Amino acid sequence: MIAVLDYGIGNLRSAEKALLKVGADARLVTDPDEAALADAIVLPGVGSFGACVSALRNSGMHHVLYDAIAQSKPLLGICVGFQMLFSESEESPGVAGLGIMDGAVLQMPTKEKLPQMQWNRLNVLHPDTSLMFRNLKSEELWFYFVHSYAAYPIGGLENPTVAAYCDYGGDVVAAIESGCLWATQFHPEKSGTSGLALLSRFVAFCEGVRQ
Amino acid sequence: MGRVVKGTQFVDLQDAGDPVALSKFYELHGADELVFLDITASSDERKTIVDVVRTTADEVFIPLTVGGGIRSVADAEIMLRSGADKVAVNSAAIARPDLISEIAERFGNQCVVVAADVKRGDVGQSSCSGFEIYTHGGRRPAGIDALEWVKQAESLGAGELLITSMDRDGTKDGYDIELLTMIREVTSVPVIASGGVGTLEHFLEGAQAAQADALLAASVFHFGQIAIEEVKEYLASNGLGVRPPRT
């Protein structure tokens, strides 16, 4: 079972429904004990970094994430669910993130409008080895973004965990892939067939890990 | 279940089909986003739109904006929990502008689309630009200038502006480029152009002459006169960056 963590923010229904659409046994989970039993975790996030982190901590579900990392359970962070993996964000100074990834979350230094609220095309960094993006054609690499802040892992695009980036008046990290930890700045659950294809790859990866 | 309808200048509504089936069709054919505007929006009919949003969001995986009858943070929350990604506010925000900031603070600016129905009139006391805001599905003049309203909406936290020209709505005469250009000049939030598209050239005018960030069309798609793929191919061949439709 894949647990989509429901910690009381925004539209989480789409993430659950998109996973169901690609054949996953997914459900919205509000109880940390139930989430701890899942084979894999999806951490969605919309709204501000601070609001998401405090809602997550209040729900007690942050422990589930640390346990998932320790147990090498597949984890997919989406949007602010990606940003929360870092220890802090410029959006909400003084609010401690999860500290699972090294780097910073900063407002995008771009002359373009903020938020970036559009479909954008990804550039895949390791097309031969990326489980997320292997063998996709460029017209299949359009995904939907809504964000003003972005993750800057240490080393930038040279960081081996960075799987893809997009251009928004500068390079923006769009996805990371580090063993069992996957995360996207875009919303796969809102990216039509491309998004469903990515979720389907995550589900297949989870099944592979479980066996 | 609700129906999709489309009028001309907000009246003479024609039936255009089942909203869920149409949504799936448009997603398949390359629509980048969908907008539902509930034009009944009386309290006893609210449940209908919630059901439509829910059923659509279960099967359609592109961004969905829902408007019509959003009067409170609680109304917005119901739509977002049902599967909408953004809510559009119109009459209720004009009656009580703080509604914009309340929804923006709770769910983020990116969630709040301020929809404005705009009609040309005389330059006068209620409108110094000659473009006036109407509410209640275009039935009531609000006595507010369109440019003043969008500036206020932006300052309160609107994440996007959906600007519908009532004069052009359903006419297929093209977007009101003058209106959209004036709106563009006074705000920096994304503008969705709406009302009047009848040809491929009109889409290009909306993007280039009016500098709109997003192009909305209803009639030409609902009644099969133009396919979304044609629009995208035409815009791409004119040098615009568009997500290619699936072949």
Best probe of the A interface among B213, B243, B246, B247, by most A CBs < 10 A, is B243
The pLDDT value recorded for residue B7 is: 85
The pLDDT value recorded for residue A41 is: 98
* pLDDT tens-digit map of A12-22: 788 999 999 99
Are residues B246 and A47, on separate chains, in Cβ contact within 8 Å?
Answer: no
Contact status, residue A153 vs residue A47, Cβ threshold 8 Å: no
Rounded Cα distance between B90 and A37, Å, is: 45
Residue B243 lies in a domain: no
Question: Which helix (DSSP H) or strand (DSSP E) does residue B67 occupy?
Answer: strand B64-67
Residue B78 lies in a domain: yes
Domain count, chain A: 1
The mean-pLDDT minimum among B107-116, B175-184, B193-202 falls in B107-116
Residues of A in contact with B110 (CB under 8 A): 115, 117, 146
Are residues B160 and A193, on separate chains, in Cβ contact within 8 Å?
Answer: no
Best probe of the B interface among A6, A9, A13, A114, by most B CBs < 10 A, is A13
In this predicted structure, the answer to whether residue B138 has a pLDDT above a threshold of 80 is: yes
Give B19 to chain A, closest Cα distance, Å.
18
The pLDDT value recorded for residue B13 is: 86
Nearest chain A residue to B245 by CA: give it: A139
- Which residues does chain A have with pLDDT short of 50? none
Give A10 to chain B, closest Cα distance, Å.
6
In this predicted structure, the answer to whether residue B49 has a pLDDT above a threshold of 60 is: yes
Q: Which domain holds residue B102?
A: 4-237
Q: Could you say which of B81, B110, B247 has the minimum Cβ distance to residue A115?
A: B110
Instruction: Indicate the average pLDDT of chain B.
Output: 92
Chain A interface with B: residues with Cβ < 8 Å? 10-11, 13-14, 17-18, 21, 46-48, 113, 115, 117-119, 121, 139, 142, 144, 146, 189-193, 195-196
Domain count, chain B: 1
Residue B242 lies in a domain: no
The pLDDT value recorded for residue A114 is: 86
Mutual orientation of helices A192-210 and A13-21 as an angle, nearest 10°? 70
Mean pLDDT value across residues B79-103: 95
Q: Which domain holds residue A65?
A: 2-210
Amino acid letter, residue A95: V
* pLDDT tens-digit map of B15-30: 888 999 999 999 999 9
Q: Give the percent of chain A with pLDDT over 70.
A: 99
In this predicted structure, the answer to whether residue B41 has a pLDDT above a threshold of 80 is: no
Q: Could you say which of A21, A46, A190 has the minimum Cβ distance to residue B108?
A: A46
Confidence of residue B44 (pLDDT cuts 50, 70, 90): low
A173, A76, A150, A10: which is closest to B86 by C-alpha?
A10
The pLDDT value recorded for residue A138 is: 87
CATH number at residue B222: 3.20.20.70
What is the predicted ipTM? 0.91
Which positions ≥6 away from A4 have C-beta within 8 Å?
Answer: A12, A15, A16, A19, A26, A27, A28, A29, A42, A44
For the purposes of burial, counting CB atoms within 10 Å of the CB of A38, is it exposed (0-12), middle (13-18) or buried (19 or more)?
buried
Are residues A139 and B160, on separate chains, in Cβ contact within 8 Å?
Answer: no
CATH number at residue A142: 3.40.50.880
The pLDDT value recorded for residue B137 is: 87
The pLDDT value recorded for residue A135 is: 86
Are residues B61 and A11, on separate chains, in Cβ contact within 8 Å?
Answer: no
Residue A52 is a catalytic residue: no
Rounded Cα distance between A142 and B201, Å, is: 25
Residue B188 lies in a domain: yes
Are residues A11 and B190, on separate chains, in Cβ contact within 8 Å?
Answer: no
The pLDDT value recorded for residue B247 is: 56
Residue B53 lies in a domain: yes
Backbone angles phi, psi at A163, to 5 degrees: -95, -30
Q: A164 forms bridges with which residues in the sheet?
A: A124, A175
Residue B167 lies in a domain: yes
* pLDDT tens-digit map of A96-119: 999 999 999 999 998 998 889 999
Residue B224 lies in a domain: yes
